[in-house]
């Protein structure tokens, strides 16, 4: 059986695509997987290990509107036929879309060829591309329950968000030694996403005595952060990395943006987290992502607007001084995500492929 997975443009679409592919290849040795990606640098970097399994499609941005774009209709037609030709060449038996503008045309093309397709929506509020593509898909899978009402007249299944099987926990002391940070004491992991977040970086650099900050600051802010934190032995700065298992394994608490993949990975590693949603995310979906976890007791959600570093650090230190609260958060995370959703999604795909 031959599975096509369309997902690219951002790490939030690529990570779940890889996570599901890893399970398919592990559980079904006779299966093959092909990825449909964009030409963006993030795709080339994250799909690098799969090389010949990656095929590029460069369609127009369906998720940004097209009313004023004169060439959109021509590019859209070309993209549809290119996607259709690619799926026929790959002889795909089923298509999974993990969202983003690059996945819309493959879903439409699959429908025209009679190839069954599934869409996985990772955010609490679906992106425009997935909403438009949904009418052409056979089934919708969602990471958050709040996304379900946006998909009308289609079967919707709550699966959660998949985590890559390569993200494996490392013994805490060993992880810290590899990172060059103190093996003992509290370590607070700050995550601003693949692009970094200046607001989060600034708070991280005000680390008080008695704890250590592990800051994934993002490339854009790296030079400034390194310069301003020079001489502070309570902070370790790292750039964005595609496999953050080492960072997760070293941390006691995380302070992070609340993108779908970040929340899924922190939940899978059972890390008590304080989420500061990116306030300008489309449809404010990061706030809803964080709220979905916070209301079940797995995290704390706070707004960036008006947030003072002292208040944030007071909250962090309060958690560290109350181990029972942290234990309850870990239990809530385990209850929300007892099984890696990647396995659930992969088995659904394999079942659909066998029945097609």
Closest CA to 112 of 130, 133, 126, 127: 133
**Tens digit of pLDDT for each residue in 204-229?**
999 999 999 999 987 778 888 889 88
Q: What pLDDT is attached to residue 58? A: 87
- The separation between CA 215 and the C-alpha centre of its own chain, rounded to angstroms, equals 18
Q: Rounded CA gap, 222 and 350, in Å?
A: 42
Q: What pLDDT is attached to residue 337? A: 92
For 214, the enclosing helix (H) or strand (E) is strand 211-216
Q: Rounded CA gap, 220 and 263, in Å?
A: 22
pLDDT tens across the length of the chain (356 residues): 899 999 998 888 999 999 999 999 998 888 999 999 999 988 998 999 998 999 999 888 765 555 546 677 788 899 999 999 999 999 999 999 998 888 999 999 999 999 999 999 999 999 888 899 999 999 999 999 999 999 988 899 999 999 998 899 999 999 999 999 999 999 999 997 655 578 889 999 999 999 999 999 877 788 888 898 888 999 999 887 777 899 999 999 999 999 999 999 999 999 999 999 998 887 889 999 999 999 999 999 999 988 899 999 999 999 999 999 999 999 999 999 989 999 999 999 988 887 66
Question: What residues contact 202, with CB distance under 8 A and at least 6 apart?
Answer: 309
Q: What pLDDT is attached to residue 250? A: 97
Q: Rounded CA gap, 249 and 234, in Å?
A: 18
Distances, alpha carbon 29 to alpha carbons 2, 48, 163, 287, in Å = 11, 21, 20, 40
Q: What pLDDT is attached to residue 196? A: 57
Question: What residues contact 61, with CB distance under 8 A and at least 6 apart?
Answer: 101
- The separation between CA 233 and the C-alpha centre of its own chain, rounded to angstroms, equals 31
Q: What pLDDT is attached to residue 281? A: 84
Question: What residues contact 142, with CB distance under 8 A and at least 6 apart?
Answer: 120, 121, 126, 148, 151, 156, 157, 158, 159
State both tokens at 313. 């650090």
230: left (phi over 0), alpha (psi -120 to 50) or beta: beta
Q: What pLDDT is attached to residue 149? A: 94
Closest CA to 143 of 236, 57, 265, 306: 265
Domains and CATH numbers, the chain: 2-165+340-355 (3.40.50.2000), 172-336 (3.40.50.2000)
Per the DSSP assignment, residues forming a β-bridge with 36 are 6, 55
């Amino acid at each position: 059986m031959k599975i096509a997975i369309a997902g690219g443009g951002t790490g939030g679409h690529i990570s779940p695509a890889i996570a599901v592919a890893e399970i398919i290849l592990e559980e079904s040795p006779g299966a093959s997987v092909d990825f449909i990606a964009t030409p963006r640098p993030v795709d080339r970097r994250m799909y690098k290990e799969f090389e010949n399994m990656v095929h590029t499609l460069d369609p127009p941005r369906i998720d940004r509107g097209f009313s004023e774009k004169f060439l959109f209709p021509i590019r859209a037609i070309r993209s549809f036929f290119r996607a259709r030709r690619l799926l026929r060449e790959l002889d795909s038996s089923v298509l999974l879309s993990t969202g983003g503008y690059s996945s819309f045309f493959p879903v439409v093309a699959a429908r025209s060829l009679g190839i069954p397709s599934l869409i996985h929506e990772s955010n609490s509020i679906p992106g425009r591309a997935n909403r438009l593509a949904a009418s052409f898909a056979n089934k919708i899978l969602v990471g958050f329950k709040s996304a379900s009402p946006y998909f009308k007249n289609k079967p919707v299944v709550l699966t959660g968000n998949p985590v890559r099987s390569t993200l494996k926990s490392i013994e805490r002391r060993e992880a810290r030694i590899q990172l060059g940070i103190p093996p003992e004491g509290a370590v607070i992991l700050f995550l601003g996403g693949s692009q970094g977040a200046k607001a989060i970086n600034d708070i991280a650099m005000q680390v008080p005595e008695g704890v250590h900050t592990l800051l994934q600051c993002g490339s854009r802010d790296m030079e400034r952060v390194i310069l301003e934190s020079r001489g502070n032995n309570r902070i370790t700065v790292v750039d964005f990395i595609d496999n953050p298992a080492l960072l997760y394994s070293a941390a006691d608490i995380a302070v992070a943006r609340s993108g779908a993949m970040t929340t899924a990975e922190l939940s899978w590693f059972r890390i008590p987290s304080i989420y500061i949603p990116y306030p300008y995310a489309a449809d404010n979906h990061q706030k809803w992502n964080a709220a979905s976890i916070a209301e079940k007791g797995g995290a704390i959600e706070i707004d960036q607007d008006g947030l003072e570093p002292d208040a944030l650090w007071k909250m962090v230190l309060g958690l560290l001084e109350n181990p029972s609260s942290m234990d309850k958060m870990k239990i809530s995370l385990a209850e929300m995500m007892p099984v890696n959703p990647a396995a659930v999604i992969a088995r659904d795909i394999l079942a659909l492929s066998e029945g097609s």
